[in-house]
Amino acid sequence: MVPNSIIITAAIIATLVVAMFLMKFGLIYMRASFSGVHVGFFYLFGMWVRRVNPAIIVDSRIIAEKAGLNLSYDELETHYLANGNVINVTQALVMAAKAQIDLSWEQACAIDLAGRDVLEALRTSTNPKVIDVPSRDKGNAYISAISKDGIQLKVKARVTVRTNLKQLVGGAVEETIIARVGEGIVTTIGSSLNHKAVLENPDLISRNVLERGLDNGTAFAILSIDIEDVDVGENIGAKLQSDQAEADKFVAQAKAEERRAMAVALEQEMRAKVQENRAKVVLAEAEVPLAMAEAFRKGQLGVMDYYRMKNIEADTEMRTSISKSEDEKLNPQ
In a domain, 329, yes or no: no
For residue 322, the model assigns a pLDDT of 79
Percentage of the chain lying above the pLDDT 70 cut: 88
Mean pLDDT, the chain, whole residue set: 80
For residue 18, the model assigns a pLDDT of 55
Domain boundary among 126, 144, 165: 126
Question: Residues 120, 205: one domain?
Answer: no
Domain count, the chain: 2
From the centroid of its chain, how far is CA 102? 38
In a domain, 269, yes or no: no
Q: Say which CATH number the domain at 165 has.
A: 3.30.479.30
Domain boundary among 94, 126, 158: 126
Name the band, by pLDDT with cuts 50, 70 and 90, for residue 111.
Answer: confident
Q: Higher-confidence residue: 40 or 265?
A: 265
Question: Residues 12, 117: one domain?
Answer: yes
In a domain, 267, yes or no: no
Question: Residues 11, 121: one domain?
Answer: yes
pLDDT over 80 (residue 11): no
> Left (φ > 0), alpha (ψ -120 to 50) or beta: where does 114 sit?
alpha
Question: Residues 108, 187: one domain?
Answer: no
In tens, the pLDDT along 288-297 reads 777 777 777 7
Question: Residues 122, 142: one domain?
Answer: no
Q: Give me the domain span that covers residue 189.
A: 129-239
In a domain, 292, yes or no: no
In a domain, 188, yes or no: yes
Beta strands in 147-240 (DSSP E): 151-163, 220-235
For residue 182, the model assigns a pLDDT of 85
Name the band, by pLDDT with cuts 50, 70 and 90, for residue 21.
Answer: low
Question: Residues 101, 146: one domain?
Answer: no
In a domain, 260, yes or no: no
Question: Residues 141, 213: one domain?
Answer: yes
pTM across the whole model: 0.58
Question: Residues 141, 108: one domain?
Answer: no
For residue 19, the model assigns a pLDDT of 55
What is the rounded (10 degree) CA torsion for 276, 278, 280, 285?
-170
Mean pLDDT is lowest, of 8-12, 110-114, 302-306, for: 8-12
In tens, the pLDDT along 265-291 reads 888 888 888 888 888 888 887 777 777
Question: Residues 133, 83: one domain?
Answer: no
In tens, the pLDDT along 163-182 reads 877 777 777 778 888 888 88
Name the band, by pLDDT with cuts 50, 70 and 90, for residue 4.
Answer: low
Question: Residues 47, 138: one domain?
Answer: no
Domain boundary among 126, 151, 185: 126
For residue 101, the model assigns a pLDDT of 82
Q: CB 178: neighbour CB atoms within 10 A?
A: 20
In a domain, 277, yes or no: no
In tens, the pLDDT along 205-262 reads 888 887 777 777 788 888 888 888 888 878 777 787 888 888 888 888 989 898 888 9
Question: Residues 171, 60: one domain?
Answer: no
Mean pLDDT on 39-63: 82
In a domain, 232, yes or no: yes
Question: Residues 109, 195: one domain?
Answer: no
